[in-house]
Structure formats: C-alpha cells, structure tokens
C-alpha cells in the first residue's frame, strides 16, 4: 500500500497543514482525525503565567480537601513520567507536576497550568506503565486544550466574578480563596466543570500523540479502556461518576483504534517497566487514608 498520510491528503486539496479535528462518529474514509491543533477560546485572555497562578491557587485549595499522600519513590516516578509526556505536548513550557491522592477510586484530574492528580485506585486497577501513561497523557491533553481554565472562566464570568479573580491573582489577600468558597470549595467547583464529549475525545487524541512522540506505546489507551469497561460491567447498573461526562468507553476505544490504524508504532515503543511494577507494589503498601466526608469528584 502506498504511503499516504493525512497531512499529504490535506495539502493535496489546498488545506495546508492545519489540523482538522473530527469528533468520533463523524469520521469518514479519506478525511481522518489528526492531532488537534489548539485554538484559544475568545473568553480566555489569560497569559500562561496567569493560568499557572490560577491553577496553583486551586491546587492549594484542592489539597485542603483531598488526602494527598507523599512518597519520595512514587512522587519521583510519577513526576518524571509526567515531565516526559508533557515535554512532547503542544504546551511543553508549563511547570507540570503530579501528586498522588490516597483514594481507591480509579480516577485522575488536571487543573489549569499543569497541576495533575492521580488516585492510588487508578494505579491499583491498571497492569502496565502504558496504561498509566495514557491516563496522564489524557490529563495533559486537557491542560493543552485549556479545557479546565476555559470552563472556570465561564463560571466566574456567569457570576460577575471574573474581574475580581483576575485583579487578585497575584495578591495573597484571601479574595481568590473566598471566591472558591462561594462555589462550595475547590472540589465542588471542579465537579461543576462539565467537559464536553469533544473535549474528552480531543484530550484522548492529544494524549495519543504525546505518547507516540515520547516513545511510549499509545496502545496503552486501549488497555486502559478495557479496564474501564470491565469496571463498568462489574458495577452493574450503578453509574460511575467520573465517567459520566466522557464519551462511552467503546466509542473512545473505536476512535483510538481508528487513529492507530493510520500510524506506525515504533518497534521499541515502551509499554511497561520494572519501575512501574515496583511503584504499583509501593502504592499497595501505602496506609489507608483517614475517613473523610464524601466529596464531589473533580472532572477527569
């Protein structure tokens, strides 16, 4: 079969190298989804520095509500993995960092500016490093797409709080914290941020290309989705909160398979490591988190 990729197809029809993102289900032969090229929302006038500071403020408040657990071995491993993936993203300049939350719910989330969180339950559920890389690459994709910050700005704007937030971003006077409390706290506010299904599908595709450029096997997405499908089946009819706003898992898997069919995955792409297996065992040995009242979970 002659080599013929999407960029060549686009150039042949005078469309240049601009990316065209097509939602899963709208893919048609001859016009295939490509890596999304991010465009800024008209409402989002924040500089990277302002977005980072907003994310830092939310991270501080989030960590007052969630049981973050620290282990030098685990923290170093997770942050090295995130930095590797993020360095191959479309926004490599942000100060990406990840922390472990002591919760058995298999979830992860991201905040503006590159602040990521992963629950121990996610690491306990998966079996290989490429599944963890897929999870973190997806969250980096949300940061690259500015999905959380766009939604936060909409929420502030709807309550006429956008100007006070922006005016006080670099002032440690309690105003930002007070505004977050008006929404019920960081977790409650983040739970209100309903990413569109296109945002979720976009984060998957962005993550896939991050993994590919980082020399990691993006088929980890399919293994991760298989785990999520198994989790959904085991839950019976009970809905899984952190998946409620995502496209159906089979649809996400189909979109990734469609994309993978157009790519060549290097023979040496990394799928697992002894480091990951050591970290997985270390996570299983962590002490249980203290019992705390149930919170709304942030959008993953």
The Cα–Cα gap between 91 and 113 comes to 10
Quick one: pLDDT at residue 291?
67
Quick one: pLDDT at residue 300?
60
Rounded to two decimals, the pTM is: 0.84
Burial of 115 (0-12, 13-18, 19+ CB in 10 A): buried
Q: How far is CA 35 from its chain centroid?
A: 16
Quick one: pLDDT at residue 153?
94
Burial of 142 (0-12, 13-18, 19+ CB in 10 A): buried
10-residue mean pLDDT profile of the chain (300 residues): values are 36 31 35 72 91 97 96 98 98 98 95 97 97 98 97 93 94 94 93 87 96 97 95 68 67 94 92 97 92 53
Quick one: pLDDT at residue 246?
65
């Amino acid at each position: 079969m002659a080599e013929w990729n999407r960029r060549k197809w686009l150039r042949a029809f005078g469309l240049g190298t601009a990316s065209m993102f097509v939602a899963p289900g709208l893919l048609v032969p001859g016009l295939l989804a490509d890596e999304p090229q991010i465009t800024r929302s008209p409402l989002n006038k924040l500089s990277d520095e302002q977005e980072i500071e907003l994310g830092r403020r939310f991270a501080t408040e989030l960590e007052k509500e969630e049981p973050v657990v620290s282990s030098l071995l685990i923290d170093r491993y997770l942050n090295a993995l995130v930095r590797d993936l993020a360095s191959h993203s479309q926004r490599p300049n942000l100060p990406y960092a990840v922390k472990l939350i002591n919760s058995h719910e298999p979830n992860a989330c991201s905040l503006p500016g590159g602040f990521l969180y992963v629950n121990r339950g996610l690491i306990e559920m998966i079996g290989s490093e490429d599944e963890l890389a897929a999870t973190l690459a997806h969250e980096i994709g949300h940061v690259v797409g500015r999905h959380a910050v766009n939604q936060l700005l909409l929420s502030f704007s709807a309550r006429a709080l956008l100007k006070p937030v922006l005016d006080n971003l670099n002032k440690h006077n309690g105003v930002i914290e007070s505004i977050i409390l008006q929404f019920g706290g960081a977790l409650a506010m983040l739970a209100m941020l309903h990413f569109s299904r296109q945002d979720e599908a976009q984060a998957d595709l962005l993550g896939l290309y991050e993994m590919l450029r980082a020399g990691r096997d993006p088929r980890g997405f399919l293994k991760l989705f298989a785990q999520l499908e198994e989790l959904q089946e085991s839950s019976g009819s009970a809905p899984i909160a952190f998946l409620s706003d995502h496209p159906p898992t089979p649809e996400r898997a189909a979109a990734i398979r469609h994309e993978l069919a157009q790519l060549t995955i290097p023979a040496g792409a990394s799928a697992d490591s002894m480091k990951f297996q050591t970290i997985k065992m270390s996570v299983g040995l962590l002490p249980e988190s203290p019992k705390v009242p149930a919170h709304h979970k942030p959008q993953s």
